[in-house]
């Protein structure tokens, strides 16, 4: 149940096109749907601007299927991240129109396309190996109704590759910078643009990368202004925050 | 040298009101001013939307004075953060109109007020002890031309205090959440709003707070969507990012 | 051998219903039973109020089987945690009445039901993915004779779900809060109740969760009063402590 | 404003001894008192069973004085922890009846003594150097209305000292174990008692103690059942939790 | 080549029973045997009192086989630790008299039994799960010629089990204490004995055990005197050091 | 495209042997080749003295194949590190002359041999288990045109093995020291030579080695002068730096 | 009360030279003396071979004075470590024969000299800056009745200094190696001797030394056999363990 | 005693200008001078190419004075780093020609100027606050006979400042990059040059910089090839390594 649905119900009530009792029935499940192991937050699109997103990791396939089916009854778009191959196969078997992106590890069921934003989010990666995180961000940002542009493999070891792309980056309303190892790309880009920079450290690297810790600390201590940071490998979170920014004042 | 100054020079050149040579002289120091220990980035307001800000920590008083004086020749507003009492006294002695905020540890010299944004940034703190970081954020955000609202001491131990303020928070375009200890406030607020949330962990706490590490990790792993994070105690950085967001499409 | 058995022996001795020699034989194995790789602490129910619990992890299946069989000769209830599927199959093959909970990874052999406490323990989880830890806590608490109520998936990202359950939580004598990621739920609940709060950080999350470290640190540094914390994923330990509290003055 | 005051108001209203308007005036400040830098949570004794406690660290003396004076107007008992010498002098100057404990670093203003619990809390320390933390716990527990017994310096290096005190420990309803270095005392005591054990790691030690981390980790991973843990040096938190347990079913 | 062999050569030379040239040939490989990937330190028994021990981990099976065969040509006893099943099968196939201990993960080829020490090393474990480390220590200590006594599963959760064994422990010349989780057993034993205590932290435990870190830090910060510590799970190292102590002044 | 090719083009242009348009076509892809997931930095040999090296880890086999094929069109030597068996099989199937070193996990396609340096790099390892890292260094150094000498297994536990090799070490122009565990070899060698020492910590070891952290910290804090350090297990990086040094002034 | 005193009492009793009642009075304070803040472990010399040692850090001067005076009544030698200047002045004022070593930060009151061991402990330091830790070890070892030899500043950066001293080192019965920075000296010495090596990491160093962590980890992961380790800067603990070894079979 | 002195002695001996006995006397102190607390390594200039450098931290002023005076008798140049103001005053009082650099915290006594290298070392800093580390590097490099060029404050937040200096950087034979915070400058420069890059992380920054850890990890995990790293704030070490490189084949 999204904002426009709720607005429609309230207007229908106001206009006498719907009776109070009927409106009540349709609105009463607003708080959440309790399916035992999970309390689905139907309210979230009202508070956060988008329905709850299913986080697949640490859940069983059966739990994800249950949540998916309960949400589908609400006629909302459904995005699931960190899904296993088993989950993708399981849900596709009864919902063949769902889109599975195996690089991003996402499932997306689009009940109703959202209007696309006129402004865009640009996703920039330091290396080829950062692509799974970038794909998660891209799928998420698009599911949330954003125009998205992706620029891959412009890490600072060959900084001329970045400069060749700066004009495209500056065209966006917000930039997501995805980098592992030492994560220097976030600082370099933030020093060159006026738009908000959301940095995503990735677990790409070895040894003293400590699973993405080096990039995380580097991005948090960036000498450039305006860098904000999300969790390691959190392409979804970066895209969600970028979408909030990209939807301001539309 | 800010954007409007540069625009003025270029228009004057275009209109024949200024000669190319004179324009050249005025523009030639654009890249940076080298004063030995420091290369002042005069170009930054063009790239990042605001002049370089002086970071006082780890610098000597003499270095900060030198940078301040070099910047003042460019007729720009000058913000310095993390300044010591000695720096404040030193600069005030020859520039009495500078404003020193001893809680925020900032100095601000306003050559020309920036136009204030119609929309606002709201700064929320979990506790009284987070105020120095909040003040740094407030001074920074105002120096960057933003309307600012501050709400103090609404941590989750008495969550009704937060709920009483949610309406004011939702009126803003972006919210900065400042919290030490376990930093739970960022997650709670992010679960309740549609606007971007920038979280600032503080070093308030002891023992297993490890100088702000607990709040930092908590904010990075928030279960709520849309939280981005800056460095521990980095009120300046949060305000800078918030200002970039608040200035989008104005 | 539990407290009432020992009391019975001593009274029988006192009343002349049992001879000293017979009492001696029955009491002599009190300290422990040595089965080579393990010294089973038969004394524990006297000191700690409950027989030794078998911790399956890091043990071989054969060792767990040996301990189980030695304990069964003492006619006590037997709880085993962190058991593998192989252990469950192995023990069930010769003790078909044992109950295996594969989510909780527990085995429970109930020789004699304990009286159920009139007051209850409530177990609250932040997310669906915390359920294995919650199940371990539930099985443990019930094995120790407690009434248990479980409330799942009320994390702070949708805090209205929690408020809808606060009345049930306040009915309990002690609350176990189980949460991964940033673990904020413990602080929020502790700010709202008068009863003791035992917090269990879980390893749910990724990146800067560092295997549950972020939730652990957050719970230890909670701004709310009265939160005590157990090890990451330690549903058993939380339930044991909660049971001690729930059995006070019964 | 404590529970009995509120009950009195409501009963007076019920009995016609007080008018609704008057009751309203007295109740209306329930939520919190906003004094600018701080929002005092007057509601807390209703939710948590005790008024808000002032945490002095990271606050200025002026802020603590302001909070103290605002709370005194509510006629509640007032406890402040982690107060500096300056704060103690400042508040004593206008409130001479306040009790300052310089070892515990507490201030306590007792408007009305709470009834003392029949059962007691026992506080046990491993070494002499743990006494400041133990004192904070003792002052807190007494302020919250508990009978308290303290046993100092029974660390495991001379374990016979502990055994000589086990009978006194077993008489209590809950035990607080305070230890630095390797914190082994918590495990040893928890293996010997049936009552809840709250462990407080202290920063006593050097080198690989890492400011209390070794004791913290040791207590969290105790091989004995029923140990719950609070933050390093958090005597207050341990006493608060112990008091909640000690007040159950009184 | 051990000490007595060398002494024999030198005496034979002295007595004219061996010619200088022959002695030279026999002594010339003293420094080391270079087999490409490895330089076998034939000199070690002279310097350290025992031939080089083969550490199997991180090596390939072929490398271990090569080293074993090169050492066998020197007619020394050969001990290998951390060997895989594959290595055990490989070496047993051509050296059937080698003894493989699959719990300890050791191989031992005894060319010539060492004289057994009159005094003994006692190995004490906190739990059943510590046995693989204890077995490695036992095999090593015996290979080095020590009498060994093992006492398993006397952790502090049931401390009476330990007291029942203290007399056997005091009979030894040195004690190795092996414990995971919080490692408290080392402190308790060290507080009760006069002999040297070598503590081995194990990786037994989960969550805040962090792979043995909690036990390691606890043992390093023991409040009892005389505890020295080796690496996590290093049963071999503890036994080697204990053997050096046990061989003093024999 | 390497330096001599570019020099050839420019000279041909100068001499009139090539037309500007043709030169342009050959030079125009200098910056990089964009193959979607990757932007190959053709420019690198000009800036860094050697073509981009393919880092196989975190990439898919298909991505590595794509990059390899794109690079082959530029007629440069191609080195790939951290390649899986699958990648080696995949590329060998269509490029049979490629050399796969399965210990080093490298692939090397030599289009044109580089001239070998007169001076050499010496690679020294502390143990047999460090050989995979040493092999990566050796393959890299040779691919970059260096004479290489390898000395294995001279760790400080048998320091006479090192002294026997010191003369060979001093003959080199730069030394790479590879060691896990406590990494002491780097300090000992650096105390004995005048040439630059590049230290590579390896993840060989267990427990408190923490995946190479102990060796890394030890090498960074070496008491000997002149030690510089690369990432854990980074044989490639050490060889690259050594090659830069070895090619100075040739 | 030391062993010989107790033996004297028991023999006097046996010989009829002392009455049972008198013996009782003299023995009855064996367990401990309770002076409020501290329970002095008079029993310790019986269990551990030496009276309790006063650890001054984290204690107040008054507490140390109280403990000292209570111990003096027992006529035992008294050693205090980590004493402040204030403590030294305080105790010297009423006990002028006490010896204060301000480098070692120790106080030693010798009631009765212990017999000196025929064999010795050798203390070796890597650098001049490790001397305070070495002095603490020396004072402790001598107070415990050991012959001690000290060799300073033979770190591996100039390894020939060590070799010149190896003969003196081999003469000892046990060696204490004290080193900060990368702590390599412990491995090098352990590779060269047959006697037990106790390693003491020191906090000497900066940056990645992390207060002695680098040396600690290095010593724990030593590639040489037989190294055991104590806490950072723990000269006392090393000397205590060394003394236990040095007193075996005397 | 430096290389040329030793060569002179040997030649004099060869030519009959000096007698063997006299040569012996002059050479016999080669190994080291033992002044009690310190063994001065007179041999070092022969092995490492430069006399021992005095590291002032953790030493007393008296110790530094003693070492200085002992070295002065050998007529060598003397460099001391990390000296306190007290040390500088103390040594200057009897050796007025010594040069004290209070920013670098160095003392340098030049007995005989070394020949200056034709090639140079360039030192680049990211920010003004990195200057003390850069000064230590500069003083060290010059003392070791190198030409040095310093470029300050070209961090990546204003990357055009760096590009303006790239030509000067490329003129050097080796570059030292000094940066705190996220240390990105090392990666950017290494991506642009062919010469060796030695990176020095500094402790400049706060919060998640963790005393230089973020820059250290970032530099170790640089995506650019050829970066080697020294300890945090170790300007001396970087300069020493750079000097070794700069002196190759001169």
* ipTM of this predicted structure: 0.90
pLDDT at D199 over 60: yes
Which range is least confidently modeled, F14-28, F201-215, H124-138? F14-28
Q: How many CB atoms lie within 10 A of CB H128?
A: 26
Q: C88: burial class by Cβ within 10 Å (0-12, 13-18, 19+)? A: buried
E149-178 pLDDT, tens digit per residue, is 999 999 999 888 898 888 899 999 999 999
pLDDT at A177: 98
Q: What is the DSSP letter of F148?
A: E
Contacts of C217 in chain B (CB under 8 A): 182, 208-210, 213-214, 217-218
Cβ atoms of B208 and B180 closer than 8 Å: no
- Tell me the three state secondary structure of residue C118: coil
Contacts of E224 in chain D (CB under 8 A): 156-157
Q: Which of F193, F246, F43 is nearest to H174 (CA)?
A: F246
β-bridge pairing D99-101 and D106-109 = antiparallel
To the nearest whole number, what is the mean pLDDT of chain H? 90
Residue A166's alpha-carbon distances to A188, A191, A199, D62, in angstroms, are 11, 12, 16, 51
Provide the shortest C-alpha distance from residue F2 to chain H (in Å).
13
Q: Which residues of chain C have pLDDT under 70?
A: 1-11, 13-14, 20-31, 46, 250
Residue F120 Cα to chain centre, angstroms: 14
Tokens of F83: 């390649």
Cα distance between residue G193 and residue H73, in whole Å: 36
B146-179 pLDDT, tens digit per residue, is 999 999 999 999 888 898 888 899 999 999 999 9
Cα distance between residue G179 and residue G205, in whole Å: 10
Q: How many CB atoms lie within 10 A of CB D96?
A: 7
- Average pLDDT score over residue span H58-67: 95
Tokens of H5: 């002195």
Contacts of G157 in chain F (CB under 8 A): 187, 190-191, 223-225
Please answer yes or no on whether A156 and H210 come within 8 Å at the CB atom: no
* Concatenated DSSP letters of C136-187: HHHHHHHHTT-EEEEE----GGGHHHHHTTHHHHHHSSEEEEEE-TT-HHHH
Cα distance between residue F247 and residue F173, in whole Å: 10
pLDDT at C32: 81
Cα distance between residue H53 and residue H239, in whole Å: 13
Tokens of C173: 């004598």
Please answer yes or no on whether D129 and G37 come within 8 Å at the CB atom: no
> Which residues from C are below 8 Å from B when comparing CB atoms?
126-127, 155-159, 181-184, 187-188, 190-192, 205, 207-210, 213-215, 217-225
Length of chain A: 250
User: Which residue do the tokens 């040594």 mark?
Assistant: H91
Q: Which residues contact G196 (CB under 8 A, 6 or more apart)?
A: E241, E244, E245, E248, G174, G175, G226, G228, G242, G245
Half-sphere exposure of A6 (CA within 13 A, CB side): 16
Phi-psi region of A2 (alpha: psi -120 to 50; beta: other; left: phi over 0): beta
Contacts of H201 in chain G (CB under 8 A): 207
H145-193 pLDDT, tens digit per residue, is 999 999 999 999 988 889 888 889 999 999 999 999 999 999 999 999 9
pLDDT at G206 over 50: yes
Q: What residue of B is the nearest CA neighbor of A53?
A: B225
Length of chain H: 250
Contacts of B158 in chain D (CB under 8 A): 32, 39, 41, 43-44, 52
Tokens of E193: 């004995």
Across E47-61, G7-21, G195-209, the highest mean pLDDT is recorded for G195-209
Please answer yes or no on whether A206 and F31 come within 8 Å at the CB atom: no
For chain C, list the contacting chains (3+ Cβ pairs, <8 Å): A, B, D, E
pLDDT at H29: 47
Residue F225's alpha-carbon distances to F160, G186, G216, H206, H242, in angstroms, are 22, 19, 21, 29, 11
Confidence of residue D3 (pLDDT cuts 50, 70, 90): low
Reported pTM: 0.92
Contacts of D215 in chain E (CB under 8 A): 218, 221
Chain D, chain E: beta-carbon pairs less than 8 Å apart: 116
Provide the shortest C-alpha distance from residue G84 to chain H (in Å).
18
Provide the shortest C-alpha distance from residue D151 to chain G (in Å).
9
Provide the shortest C-alpha distance from residue A206 to chain C (in Å).
14
Cα distance between residue F194 and residue G166, in whole Å: 25
Cβ atoms of B104 and B77 closer than 8 Å: no
- Average pLDDT score over residue span F131-154: 97
Residue D215's alpha-carbon distances to D204, E26, E99, in angstroms, are 9, 56, 41
C-alpha dihedral over C130, C132, C134, C137, to 10 degrees? -150
Of D161, D204, D208, the CB nearest to G32: D161
Q: What residue of G is the nearest CA neighbor of F219?
A: G182
Please answer yes or no on whether E207 and C43 come within 8 Å at the CB atom: no
* Concatenated DSSP letters of H30-49: -S-EE-SS-EE-TTHHHHHS
pLDDT at D29 over 50: no
CA angle, C217 then C222 then C225, to 5° = 145
Cβ atoms of A233 and A203 closer than 8 Å: yes
E strand or H helix that includes residue H92: helix H85-94
Tokens of E162: 């330990």
Please answer yes or no on whether A157 and H225 come within 8 Å at the CB atom: yes
Structure-model confidence comparison of residues C121 and H50, the more confident one: C121
Of H48, H225, H227, the CB nearest to F225: H48
pLDDT at F110: 94
Q: Which of E153, D186, E163, E212 is nearest to C237 (CA)?
A: D186
β-bridge pairing E54-55 and E227-229 = unpaired
Q: What is the 3-state secondary structure (H, E, C) of F171-228?
A: HCCEEEEEECCCCHHHHHHHCCCCCCEEEEECCCCCHHHHHHHHHHHHHHCCCCCCEE
Provide the shortest C-alpha distance from residue F76 to chain H (in Å).
18
Angle between helices C61-72 and C85-94 (to 10 degrees): 40
| Optimal mutation site among C59, C225, C240, C242, interface D, most CBs of chain D within 10 A | C225
Half-sphere exposure of G108 (CA within 13 A, CB side): 22
CA angle, H1 then H3 then H7, to 5° = 105
Cα distance between residue A106 and residue A127, in whole Å: 21
Please answer yes or no on whether E152 and C233 come within 8 Å at the CB atom: no
Cβ atoms of G65 and G78 closer than 8 Å: no
pLDDT at F20: 64
Residue A38 Cα to chain centre, angstroms: 21
pLDDT at H16: 73
Provide the shortest C-alpha distance from residue H11 to chain A (in Å).
51
> Which residues from H are below 8 Å from G when comparing CB atoms?
31-32, 36-39, 41, 43-44, 52, 55, 57-59, 63, 67, 201, 203, 211-212, 216, 231-234
Phi-psi region of F172 (alpha: psi -120 to 50; beta: other; left: phi over 0): beta
* Concatenated DSSP letters of chain E: --HHHHHHHHHHHHTTSS-HHHHHHHHTT-S-EE-SS-EE-TTHHHHHSSPPPEE-TTS-HHHHHHHHHHHHTTT--EEEES--HHHHHHHHHH-TT-EEETTTTEEEE-SSPPPPPSSEEEEEESSGGGHHHHHHHHHHHHHTT-EEEEE----GGGHHHHHTTHHHHHHSSEEEEEE-TT-HHHHHHHTT-SS-EEEEE---S-GGGGGGHHHHHHHHT-SSTTEEE--TT-HHHHHHHHHHHHTTT-
Decide: F and H in contact? Rule: 3+ Cβ pairs under 8 Å: yes
CB neighbour burial string for G123-139, b if at least 16 within 10 angstroms, e if fewer: bbbbbbbbbbbbbbbbb
Please answer yes or no on whether E184 and D126 come within 8 Å at the CB atom: no
E strand or H helix that includes residue A88: helix A85-94
Cβ atoms of B99 and B108 closer than 8 Å: yes
β-bridge pairing B227-229 and E174-179 = unpaired
H8-36 pLDDT, tens digit per residue, is 666 676 677 777 666 655 655 456 888 88
Tokens of H171: 């003129």
Confidence of residue H74 (pLDDT cuts 50, 70, 90): confident
Residue A10's alpha-carbon distances to A18, A20, D71, in angstroms, are 9, 10, 45
Half-sphere exposure of A21 (CA within 13 A, CB side): 0
| Optimal mutation site among C228, C240, C246, interface D, most CBs of chain D within 10 A | C228
Q: What residue of C is the nearest CA neighbor of B191?
A: C157
Cα distance between residue C41 and residue E155, in whole Å: 10
* Concatenated DSSP letters of A142-157: HHTT-EEEEE----GG
Contacts of H218 in chain A (CB under 8 A): 182-184, 214-215, 217-218
Q: Considering Cα of G2, then G8, then G14, then G18, what sign does the dihedral take? A: negative
Decide: B and H in contact? Rule: 3+ Cβ pairs under 8 Å: yes
Residue H3's alpha-carbon distances to A127, G208, H46, in angstroms, are 49, 33, 6
Confidence of residue B134 (pLDDT cuts 50, 70, 90): very high
Tokens of E2: 């051990």
Cβ atoms of C91 and C98 closer than 8 Å: yes
To the nearest whole number, what is the mean pLDDT of chain D? 90
- Average pLDDT score over residue span D50-54: 86
The series of mean pLDDT values per 10 residues for chain A, 250 residues long, is 61 70 58 85 74 92 94 90 96 95 96 93 97 98 97 91 88 97 96 95 96 98 96 98 90
């Amino acid at each position: 149940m999204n904002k426009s649905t709720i607005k429609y119900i309230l207007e229908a009530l106001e206009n006498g096109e719907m009776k109070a009792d009927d409106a009540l029935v349709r609105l009463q499940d607003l708080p959440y749907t309790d399916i035992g192991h999970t309390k689905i937050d139907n309210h979230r699109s009202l508070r956060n601007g988008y329905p709850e997103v299913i986080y697949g990791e640490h859940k069983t396939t059966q739990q994800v299927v249950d949540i998916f089916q309960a949400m589908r009854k609400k006629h909302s778009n459904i995005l699931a991240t960190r899904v296993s191959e088993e989950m993708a196969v399981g849900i596709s078997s009864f919902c063949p129109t769902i889109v599975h992106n195996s690089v991003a590890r996402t499932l997306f069921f689009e009940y109703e396309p959202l209007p696309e934003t006129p402004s865009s989010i640009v996703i920039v990666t330091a290396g080829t190996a950062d692509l799974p995180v970038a794909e998660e961000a891209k799928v998420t940002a698009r599911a949330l109704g954003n125009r998205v542009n992706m620029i891959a493999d412009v890490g600072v070891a060959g900084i001329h590759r970045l400069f060749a792309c700066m004009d495209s980056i500056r065209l966006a309303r917000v930039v997501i910078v995805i980098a592992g190892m030492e994560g220097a790309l976030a600082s370099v880009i933030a020093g060159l643009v006026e738009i908000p920079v959301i940095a995503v450290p990735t677990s790409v690297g070895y040894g003293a990368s400590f699973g993405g810790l080096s990039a995380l600390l580097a991005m948090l201590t960036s000498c450039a202004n305006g860098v904000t940071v999300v969790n390691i490998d959190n392409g979804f979170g970066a895209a969600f925050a970028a979408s909030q920014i990209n939807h301001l004042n539309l």
